Amino acid sequence: MKIPDIIPVTDLRQDAASVLKKLQDSADPLVVTQRGRAIAVIQSVDAYEKSERERELLHLLAVGEKEIADGVGHTLTSVFKEADALLKGSDS
């Protein structure tokens, strides 16, 4: 894991435009500090949206794993049958 870039809040205040430009050009987050302590993490909208999609996918996988462990859910065969039916239905 890469160590995130860190910027003091005073530097952010003084040169916000260049900090925002740097964020747009990078997928990496930026840690904002105040008095030497981390107070916020900022990132570009693209990086945030990608992170949220990945988080949602992980959530769905965790739900699926729990359903499997609980004996709930669907077999792979039934999922494929349902997918085939949906695909055939969309051809009409």
Domain boundaries, the chain: 5-43, 47-91
- Average pLDDT of the segment spanning 72-78: 79
User: pLDDT tens digits for 12-48?
Assistant: 999 999 999 999 888 899 999 999 999 999 999 999 9
Residue indicated by tokens 């870039």: 5
For position 29, what pLDDT does the model report? 93
Task: Enumerate the β-bridge partners of residue 32.
Answer: 7, 40
Mean of pLDDT over the chain: 88
| Residue 1's pLDDT band (cuts 50, 70, 90) | low
- Collapse the DSSP code of 16 into the 3-class scheme (helix H, G, I; strand E, B; otherwise coil) and give the result: helix
Convert 43-64 to b/e letters by CB count within 10 Å (16 or more is b). Answer: bbeebeeeeeeeeeeeeeeeee
- Examine the pLDDT at 78 and tell me if it is beyond 90: no
Domain 5-43 has CATH 3.40.1620.10: yes
